[in-house]
Amino acid sequence: MDKLAELAQLIKARNVIDDLIAAKINRPALVGHMGEYIASQIFDIKLCDSATNKAIDGFFNSGKLMGKSVNIKYYGKAEHLLDITPNALPDYYLVLTGPRGKAVSSKGQTRPFAINSVFLFDANKLIEILKLRKVKIGIATSVINSLWDNAEIYPEQGSLQLTEEIRQMLAYFYVG
């Protein structure tokens, strides 16, 4: 079997798995949708009915952040970039990332779906700091390491103390 035929078979198998995932999350099995669904289950977030709401994916249902709006981001690697919609800010950005990565070519690399870190940014405070630093705000906004460090809530505990149950659920998706 040639490489193209082998690839076609693998894609067909992947489509079956994607259909199973889509049935669970009620949206296409794209990494962003999967990240939003996982975050909603772990952090008790009521997702908006439409996945096309501008800048807000849902609202926290309980805890210290109850009623606050959130934009959930999933990135396969922690590369210190954040997509921000400055003219439609949520209260918080909840960012789930795979392992830390360097900006290198993706050639020969894989990017498994993993959650190795979680970050919680107060959107208004983040924007204030970025404006003071004269950072261009938008798609792939560069956010300095110290801001990521301060926003980290998993695996390190930060501004939002996670219960052991939440930490265990996040560990389901950890890839070391």
Is residue 146 in some structural domain? yes
Is residue 75 in some structural domain? yes
Position 53 scores a pLDDT of 77
The number of beta carbons lying within 10 Å of the beta carbon of residue 147 is 18
**Into how many domains does the chain fold?**
1
Instruction: Please report, as a single letter, which amino acid is at residue 130.
Output: L
Q: Is the pLDDT of residue 173 over 90?
A: yes
Global pTM reads 0.92
150 CB contacts (<8 Å, ≥6 apart)?
158, 159
Q: What is the residue whose two structure tokens read 């772990």?
A: 42
Read off the CATH number of the domain in which 53 is found.
3.40.210
Residue 21: phi and psi, rounded to 5, are: -65, -45
Q: What is the DSSP letter of 163?
A: P
Mean pLDDT of 84-111: 85
Q: Which residue has the higher pLDDT, 117 or 51?
A: 117
Instruction: Name the residue range of residue 16's domain.
Output: 3-101+109-171
Is residue 176 in some structural domain? no
Q: 119, 153 in Cβ contact below 8 A?
A: yes
Q: Is the pLDDT of residue 114 over 70?
A: yes
The number of beta carbons lying within 10 Å of the beta carbon of residue 18 is 15
pLDDT bin (cut points 50, 70, 90) of residue 103 is low
By the 10 Å C-beta count (0-12 exposed, 13-18 middle, 19+ buried), 155 is classed as middle
Q: How far apart are CA 67 and CA 7, in angstroms?
A: 46
Is residue 158 in some structural domain? yes
Q: 8, 17 in Cβ contact below 8 A?
A: no
Smallest Cα–Cα separation from 153: which of 123, 115, 127, 125? 115
Is residue 47 in some structural domain? yes
* Per-residue model confidence as pLDDT tens digits over 14-30: 999 999 999 999 999 99
Average pLDDT over the chain, rounded to an integer: 93
